[in-house]
A and B are shown apart, each in its own frame.
Chain A
Amino acid sequence: MTEYLVMTREDEQAHASQSPKAMSELIEKSATYADELRRAGRLKDSGRLRPSKEGKRVRREGDRLTVRDGPFAEEGKALGSYCWVQAGSFDEATELVANAPVLPTDAIDVRPVMKGMCPRDKEAKPGKIFACAVLGCTKTEDAWVEVMDRIDEETHGRFPEASFLGGLRLEPPRSGRRIVTRGERRATFDGPFLESKEVIGGLFFVRMTSVEDAVRWAAETRFVVHGALEIRELWRT
């Protein structure tokens, strides 16, 4: 079994303008979908992010730390949810997510996991849970891998033990796949998606009292030296 991270990239406006009934149905379908994956023994972890306008992006430019407020969107789409699954092959993983409940405007990225430490009971502990997406922004894959390696070395021990909940490092973008809806059908594209300026290289989870606290801790890590961090609160599900 190999592990894959499935991420939805969403047109937030389309989600925000859903009718309450459609909103409720999508939420219920997502819950059922995650339950089914869990029952089948395929789900390691999943989560849904609160709107990107509540999020922060932290990066260092020279000596200056910059913190940008959301909303964030690449080509009009923001990270919306993630599912950490196990599958026998890439095709099987793609098949698993083919029926994921999404809006037609959403894209689904499937990316192989290089290594990871799965958060256990992350929903059960007090505090707000934040997903921190490590963003790489280099033109070539080699440089990207190097950047991620360097960031990876710095992952551990940077956060207070009680606050760090685990996370994962993804394989380079060329190994990923993107699924989009075209009319009635879903079409699949292979990576590396170099048209995207910033590609997600990993995801980790922290528990904090506020987004400001999360930004303060993030600023002390090396993530923001070599790349950027997008910090987004998770809904508790």
Chain B
Amino acid sequence: MADLTAIVDDTVRTERGRIVGGLLRLCGSLDAAEEAFQEAALAAVQAWREEAPSNPGAWLMTAAKNSARDARRRRAVAEAKAPLLVEDDMDTRDTIDTVSDDYLRLIFACCHPELAADNQIALTLKVVAGFSTAEIARAFVCSEGTVSQRILRAKQTIEEKSIGYGAPERMDLAERVSAVLGVVYAIFNEGHTGRSGPLMRLDLQAEALRLARLLCDLVPCEPEAFGALAIMAFGAARAHTRVDDEGLPILLAAQDRSRWNRELLREGLMALRRARALGGRGPYVLQAEIAAAHVTAPRWESTDWAAIVAAYDALAEVSPSPIVALNRAVAISMHAGPSAGLAALAALERPLADYHLFYATRADMLDRTGGDPRADLERAISLATNEAEKRLLERRLRDRPLTRG
């Protein structure tokens, strides 16, 4: 049975979220739910040696519920309560709606706004995605101890703040979804451009994409979920064209568009269609509009900059930030020329004084107007933390005299 490990691993990973979510409703604690799931996964390795069940997911769910029930009995006995008083609500048949609610409950708890951002990410990757502590540590280039601490702190916060695992309230859905999207997007970005280490971690990106798809299935009327899915699908479609053979980033303008993944582009476009149909004009949908304008342009030169500037104008209204303003300035420079871009940048030097891309951007615009970008490039190099980005900036500075002649 060479496949056995593969079948178990595969089932454990794909079924994990909804099963732990279901157990959460029954156990009332994340630790107990995870423990019961772990026991079931171990039992599967034994039991499936003869033959894998026809419905591995259902098998795991039943086994996990049994473990949870046993654990609860043991606890009841230990606490000297009559075991018969333990309420047995584990046999209710799951419908697609209860399964969805279970899943959502788990995701909402892991991404609760009360949790610190790094702790949310660690807990989500561990509990929902089923990454090991070692895998998370590798992906985020930190020690396993740090990851364990983050997970522990996240669980403590859930206990202390009595966040609880109640049924997802449909009322503040948009707010809760927004918190989840923040986490999923952070995972995606970590895979896209890490703070350190290799430029891209495709497994993180793939997981973020999987989570975004899952969220769209769970809350199919939230436009922002579809907006976020579109952004990530567009990003993933370009992933393999973003880095050259030396590991240096290739800017959008120079990427080989013919190599972008059409299937992922279609997924992004369909998600954006859904977001538009739902009337979404939130930050993720607007960013998806911007990304769509980029990926549908046959060439960099034929990009619809007017549409992009308009989307940035709207974005600057719904979620103003210096980064949005910086990107808007870039779009303006492409639409109306580098002088207009420099004018739009003027107010941003103070809020972005420590951000390498501010200087890299201004250097580019100065270059285009015939100014001297060297001071800005040097500043950008001294501020950049990603090794690959730093090398790219150094190359720009080094190559300058040659291109300028």
Contacts and interface: CB of A to CB of B under 8 A. Distances in A.
Bind each other: yes
A17 B262 contact: yes
Contact of A24 (B100, B104, B292): B292
A162 interface: yes
Interface string A190-220: 0000000000000000011110100010000
Interface string B262-285: 110110011001101100000000
A59 B220 CA distance: 31
A20 B259 CA distance: 11
Given A20-B295, A21-B296, A209 B99 contact: yes
A209 B298 CA distance: 37
Report the interface size class on chain B: 35 or more
A183 interface: no
A40 interface: no
A143 interface: no
Contact of B273 (A19, A20, A27, A210): A27
Contacts of A31: 273, 276-277
A235 interface: yes
Contact of B217 (A28, A127, A212, A237): A127
Given A16-B262, A27-B273, A236-B274, A209 B96 contact: yes
Nearest to A125: B220
A21 B297 contact: yes
A216 B53 CA distance: 13
B403 interface: no
Contacts of A17: 262
Report the interface size class on chain A: 20 to 34
A120 B216 CA distance: 19
A13 to B, nearest CB: 11
Interface of A is mostly: loop
Given A207-B96, A236-B274, A237-B270, A19 B298 contact: yes
Nearest to A162: B95
Contact of A163 (B96, B226, B265): B96
Interface of B is mostly: helix
Contacts, number: 81
A208 B96 contact: yes
A204 to B, nearest CB: 16
A162 B217 CA distance: 15
A162 B100 CA distance: 12
B392 interface: no
A124 interface: yes
Interface in A1-54: 16-21, 23-24, 27-28, 31, 48, 51
Given A126-B97, A127-B100, A237 B274 contact: yes
Contacts of B218: 126
B221 interface: yes
18 contacts: A20-B262, A20-B295, A21-B297, A23-B296, A24-B292, A24-B296, A27-B269, A27-B270, A31-B273, A51-B263, A124-B220, A126-B97, A126-B219, A127-B217, A162-B96, A162-B97, A163-B95, A209-B99
Given A20-B262, A162-B97, 18 more contacts: A18-B262, A21-B297, A23-B265, A23-B269, A23-B296, A24-B292, A24-B296, A124-B220, A125-B97, A126-B97, A160-B95, A163-B96, A207-B96, A236-B216, A236-B270, A236-B274, A237-B270, A237-B277
